[in-house]
Amino acid sequence: MFKSTLKALSAAAVLAASAVAVQAADYTIRATANSNENDEDYDGLVVFKNFVESASNGAIEVELFIGTQLCSKGAECLQGVADGSIDVYISTSGGASGIFPYVQVLDLPYLMANDRVAEAVLSGDFTRTMRSMALADSGDAIRLMTIGNTGGWRNFANTKRRVRAPADMEGLKIRTVVADLPQELVKALGASPTPIPWPELFTSFQTGVVEGSKNGITDIMGMKFPDAGLQYVTLDGHAYMGALWWMNNAKFMGMPEDMRRVVVDGFAALQQATFASPKRKSIQAYEDFVAGGGDLYVPSPAEKAAFKEAAAPVYDWFKGNIKGGEEIFTALTDAVAAAEADIDAGMAQDIN
């Protein structure tokens, strides 16, 4: 009698589990990041998966593909999003610039002063403006869901010397991505831009093919670049390392409104996770860099202003040479001004 009851309960449990699986399969989101499980992108996806599956009560299942299982390069991955073979993909601005060149606005130097400003800007209407532009340019195929962070702030790092001023950049061979804007910035500062694929950068430092880069400290330490000779980092914080999270628009719009709300809330949770993750990880990364003999230099306000002045021609180049450049530049600078005013007003109240 007991065994019969146990078998019946077991069968009921299997049926219940199957029912949940069927419900979860109603909406399956295939999300990929070309990174690894130590990366902020993975942290964000784990939060997204947990939130969406829980908040949808099992109606949405999120499958994670970390690395290059589904695709390996920005253009290939975004094509996968467009044709629906990939539902969610995270790119850097460089990775998406071939299709949406105006996303390089995030690489324009010295426009956002700190985390508070950047996070306020990327949580508001600026991102919605970029979303509208991307939808229009992709024939409503690719939807920008949110912009988070992947690695903190870009700083100049090199193998040769401490950089205090733009003059110290003179002649340095600085690794960039293939995109135009980072190369224009490096040239404006007197250095020589050298496009090098990311996987080849360690060896390129060792052999002197390049002598510097524009990276966050977590990437520098995660890739063990100090072992290849990268020993000088200047904390100029010239660009916030934005992470653009894209989704197949048909998949998103094909969900009922209550499920779309869950997905949007999930991306908000993902964004907060990626905002926070680099702050924590960078603490140990900076400590390890200095402990290993690295030279960490913090420019004075006057020195940072000199960098911004030297880089200023890049703004006009961007507005004049990038499709949609004027529109997105105005959207960003207006959002920055509004964020700074709001933060300053709050600070005045908080300190008194």
**For 15-350, which CATH class?**
alpha beta
Domain boundaries, the chain: 15-350
Query: What local confidence, expressed as pLDDT, does residue 6 receive?
Result: 38
Angle at Cα 240 formed by Cα 238 and Cα 246, nearest 5°? 145
DSSP-derived 3-state class of residue 113:
coil
pLDDT of residue 300: 96
Chunked into runs of 10 residues, the chain (352 residues) has average pLDDT values of: 43 44 73 91 97 98 96 93 98 92 96 97 98 98 97 96 96 90 93 91 97 94 95 96 97 98 98 96 96 97 96 96 97 98 97 94
List of E strands, 219-311: 232-248, 295-297
Q: How much is the pLDDT for 349?
A: 97
What's residue 94's pLDDT? 87
Task: Report the alpha-carbon distance of residue 72 to residue 35 in Å, rounded.
Answer: 10
Sign of the alpha-carbon dihedral angle for 200, 203, 204, 205:
positive
Q: Which residues pair with 213 in a beta bridge?
A: 157
> What span, in angstroms and rounded, lies between the C-alpha atoms of 120 and 130?
15
Specify the pLDDT at position 122: 98
Q: Which pairing describes strands 295-297 and 192-195: parallel, antiparallel, or unpaired?
A: unpaired
Q: Which helix (H) or strand (E) holds 143?
A: strand 142-158
Q: Which one, of 126, 146, 127, lies nearest residue 45 by Cα?
A: 146
d(CA 346, CA 76): 44
Q: How far apart are CA 60 and CA 39, in angstroms?
A: 24
Read off the tokens for 217.
């400290």
- pLDDT at position 3 is 43
**Single pTM value for the model:** 0.89
Supply the pLDDT for residue 36: 87
Is there a contact between 143 and 131 (Cβ–Cβ < 8 Å)? yes
Beta bridge partners of 233: 157, 296
From the CA atom positions of the chain, what is the Rg in Å?
23
